Amino acid sequence: MFRQTPPMGWNSWNTFGGNINEQLIKETADAMVDTGLRDAGYEYIIIDDTWQEPARENGHLVPDRNKFPGGMKALADYIHGKGLKFGMYSSSGYLTCMGLPASCGHEFTDAADFAAWGVDYLKYDYCNRPFRIPSDLLYRRMGLALANCGRDILFAACSWGADGTPEWIRGTGATTWRSTGDICDSWASIRDLGCAQADKLLSGAINCFNDMDMLVVGMNGKGNVGVSGCTQDEYRTHFALWAFLASPLIIGCDIRSIDSDALEILKNKALIAVNQDPDGRLPLPLGGPAPLAFPGKNAFSMSRLMSNGDIAVGMFNMDDSTDVLFQFSVYDLGLDPALGQTVVITDLYTGEEFSPVEGFVYRGVKPHCCCMLRLRVIMQ
Ligand code: GLA
């Protein structure tokens, strides 16, 4: 399936782990509409691990009869009726990470069943795989099965960036690929996953987006991957970094009871627009011809050319205790201040508008915070 922009949606794992059922998924679909998240762009409702009976029946995966008594087709119909799309989960191994039957050796059967149920998205994990089969072949098989199943199903690979994933994943038919291990609801996890992207940026592209894992915004320490929780500033930095680097934006909190702070972050139109920019340009470090790597592990700034000619700038202070004064000149962006070329700047979190001072932009950023800007070019 071709996708120009990173997928957006919700996944059950971060908050609910194995405690999922039909009612929860329907209520979540309702909440996606009622909160305005659907209209902000979040469209996939994705059921993660533990939806299936503990054994195949007649060679087929069967939805858990207690959790999903109505079956998956009826649930898909309900979700589609809300103007949303339906996602499911399996693994490239014999068993899922939770030890339930997975798709290795059954790829074409399962893809056909997913298509018949009305599935639009398949997250495909890496647990319990047979080591004698090369990793790329496990993903090539499901990619091929989905490409021939008669339905447009987004293939969301989840091999955690392991075993050379970036070298082969784009060839398998995957539209997104998980580049790291699992996220937790803590600042340390956000910082580590964020900083681990430095050598992965070149491997993300339109139609094969680098998936930095589901969002923890709004979890506040509760749920399956809830650890300490984060401050609102930390959630803002998390969302901004995922949005800026064109990661899929897959919400992980319980949106049935989401708080207004989380909703405000997740519905930030200006940041979603950066994430969904159709040109999918690579982020570049700000400040000269540095190699494609974050200039410092704890504080880095990047720019991205937008499809309308604007420039998005992200400044991230991942340090625990030091305030950072970021600065760049419009010259670093490709403009010549001597010719009167400049920019008008909008802060994407505060909405504040301002101009460079003698060609320079300065922003102080507190620990665990970020500053997100969009620059409109002015030719005098
Ligand atoms: C792996 C994945 C997670 C989640 C669990 C489910 O750990 O990386 O995102 O899907 O499996 O068991």
Instruction: Tell me the whole-structure pTM to 2 decimals.
Output: 0.97
Phi, psi of 139, rounded to the nearest 5 degrees: -80, -35
Find the distance separating the first CA and the last CA of the chain, reported in whole Å.
44
Q: Which of 46, 103, 127, 247 to mutate to test the pocket of ligand 1 (most atoms within 8 A of CB)?
A: 127
Would residue 120 show up in a list of annotated catalytic residues for this protein?
no
Of the residues 64, 152, 163, 182, only one is catalytic, namely 182
125 Cβ below 6 A of ligand 1: yes
Q: Which atom of ligand 1 is nearest to the CA of 181?
A: 8
What number is the average pLDDT over the span 363-375? Answer: 96
Q: Which two tokens stand for residue 368?
A: 């665990």
d(CA 137, CA 192): 29
Please give the distance, rounded to the nearest whole angstrom, from the Cα atom of residue 32 to the centre of ligand 1: 22
Does residue 120 register a pLDDT over 70? yes
Rounded distance from Cα 59 to ligand 1 centre (Å): 24
Euclidean distance between CA atoms 36 and 49, whole angstroms:
27
Alpha helices for 118-230 (secondary structure H): 135-147, 165-168, 187-195
Is the CB of residue 241 less than 8 Å from the CB of residue 368? no
pLDDT of residue 380: 73
DSSP state of 256: G
Q: How many angstroms is it from 330 CA to the middle of ligand 1?
A: 43
What is the Å distance from ligand 1's center to 18 Cα?
11
pLDDT digits (tens, 9 = 90+) for 1-38: 899 999 999 999 999 999 999 999 999 999 999 999 99
Around Cβ 202, how many Cβ atoms within 10 Å?
Answer: 10
> Among the listed ranges 11-20, 52-61, 285-294, 357-366, which one has the minimum average pLDDT value?
285-294
The three-class DSSP label of residue 342 is: strand
Tokens 């992965």, located at residue? 200
pLDDT at 297: 61
Task: Name the residue of 10, 158, 177, 183 whose CB sits within 8 Å of the most ligand 1 atoms, as the mutation to test its pocket.
Answer: 158
Confidence at 287, pLDDT banded by 50, 70, 90: low
Residue 182 designated active-site: yes
Give yes or no for a contact between 167 and 179, defined as CB atoms under 8 angstroms apart: no
Query: Nearest CA to 125 among 156, 169, 170, 85?
Result: 156
Kind of pairing, strands 8-11 and 249-251? parallel
